[in-house]
Amino acid sequence: MGFYLTMDHFKNIYTHHAEEYHSLIAPEDVDGNLKAALESAASLKGKRILDLGTGSGRLPLLFAHESAQMIGLDLHWGMLNQNQIERKNANGDWGLVNGDMRYLPFPSASVEVVTAGWAIGHLRKWYEENWQIEIGKVIHEMRRVATDNVIIIETLGTGSLTPAPPAPHLADYYAWLEGEWGFERKTISTDYQFGSVEEAIEKTEFFFGAEMSEKIRRNNWSRLPEWTGIWVK
């Protein structure tokens, strides 16, 4: 996912353009690496799972039918509304809650696994002066409600042939997760596969911006390379 643009850019998308966002992520992870990597990182089958920053339903669509219970939490109503549409289309039954992941409305030890996919990293930019405090609140809350595992998923670059944090502020955040909190990282590819170069540009430009579109055109990419990090504790 992208972290190159402004705070308002992403908040506007999550509030007003959730349908376009889901259309963007639908062709992501063409090789199916994400599910396999998560299952190898932690035992998920039959578990109660809480998904923070659940968005339009990326992780519930992967795991809801295999979990004992799944609940998605998101701050943005636009995303939750789109999540409901995707849940209905998939005949899913996961729960949805509007809330701030820094202040979870759940009892301690109420689930076994807590996931946060491409969500916490935004706080690194949105709270530049005190990001360790704000992200620390999220991690404390994740650990409070989970009995087994805490899993954080973040970008290691879209449109890059090698995995790396796409911005210095994310490099700081990832190093902090590993050094301060003891998370272990696994890196996987989660490439997008579009039908054509033109479709790749059409589906991605609103999110990643014109610079990415130029890169796609220059490299003639209908398959857009992407790397993802999975941090587990």
Residues 110-138: tens digit of each pLDDT: 999 999 999 999 999 999 999 999 999 99
| 1 domain residue, yes or no | no
**Phi-psi label, residue 2: left if phi above 0, alpha if psi -120 to 50, beta otherwise:** beta
Is 2 part of a structural domain of the chain? no
- CATH of residue 152's domain is 3.40.50.150
In this predicted structure, the answer to whether residue 142 has a pLDDT above a threshold of 90 is yes
**Domain that includes residue 138, residue range:** 7-232
Domain count, the chain: 1
What does the pLDDT read at residue 8? 81
Q: Is the pLDDT of residue 6 over 90?
A: no
* Domain-embedded: residue 35: yes
In a domain, 218, yes or no: yes
Question: What global pTM score does this model have?
Answer: 0.95
| pLDDT tens by residue, 36-56 | 999 999 999 999 999 999 999
